[in-house]
Amino acid sequence: MTNLKSKIAIVTGASRSKGIGATICRSLANAGADVFFTHWSPFHEFSGNGLDQEFPNMLCEELRSIGVKSAHIEVDLSKSESPSLIMDRVVETLGTPSILVNNATYESPVDFRTLNKEILDKHYSVNNSGTLMLSLEFAKRYEKSFPEGKDGRIINMVSKGPDSNNLAYIGTKGMMIAITEPLSVGLAPIGITVNCVDPGPTDSGWINDELRQQLLPLFPSGRIGVPEDAARLITFLASDESGWITGQTLKSEGGFLGR
């Protein structure tokens, strides 16, 4: 069993009980890590995914009941002050983290007729600028707190594919794939690995029956992915056992045939 005891992890974008972010939090906590998570309710109200205002507190208590420490903050990752705010709060409540899971995302489906600069900038401000600035703030503080330089982890959740109705989302996620390898080279000397996880289509509550019937034939294993599939891989990448894996984009999508 993966052992993350004495580790402190940040997971961004944990706002829904069935979401990948919350499932990652549970998986890391079950492996022994203390977990700090972020959430941003206005996005979920806008996206129509539904939101339970009490869920962050409920998740925090759920994680504590496992036997680990947990804390959380509502924060807009598109704001320039958010990376420092997140890191300050983590240190105040739990200590200096050694694991960062960049799960928070902004997504608004657009095609070539509807995509404009404003929509693209909204995606960029969260999926790229906010995520990267948080990663750099995490790395700078890690370097100061862990001068021996080992066991730091940054894990980016990414996506890909030919969906012409999701140009801004796939494009900005593609940038995270592109920057992972050079960032991994830059952070290797201070003991941080950087990897991407592509979970493919994941049934986290947004897949309706019609879409499920369309997707199911594209999974040769006979089922659609669930959040636990990605969470297991992320928990492994957060562990000491993954220390020689860096700069990679790993798929956890059950052989998904849609590209």
The 10s digit of each residue's pLDDT in 57-76 is 999 999 999 999 999 999 99
Q: Which of 106, 124, 142, 169 is catalytic?
A: 169
Domains of the chain, residue spans:
8-251
pLDDT of res. 49: 52
Q: What is the pLDDT of residues 210-219, one digit of tens each?
A: 888 888 888 8
Q: Please state the rounded mean pLDDT for residues 9-17.
A: 94
pLDDT of res. 1: 60
pLDDT of res. 117: 98
Count of beta carbons in the 10 Å neighbourhood of residue 79: 12
CATH superfamily of 8-251: NAD(P)-binding Rossmann-like Domain (3.40.50.720)
Q: Please state the rounded mean pLDDT for residues 187-207.
A: 91
Active site residue 169: yes
pLDDT of res. 218: 87
Checking if the pLDDT of 134 tops 50, the result is: yes
Q: Please state the rounded mean pLDDT for residues 186-203.
A: 95
Are residues 161 and 171 in contact, defined by beta-carbon separation less than 8 angstroms?
no
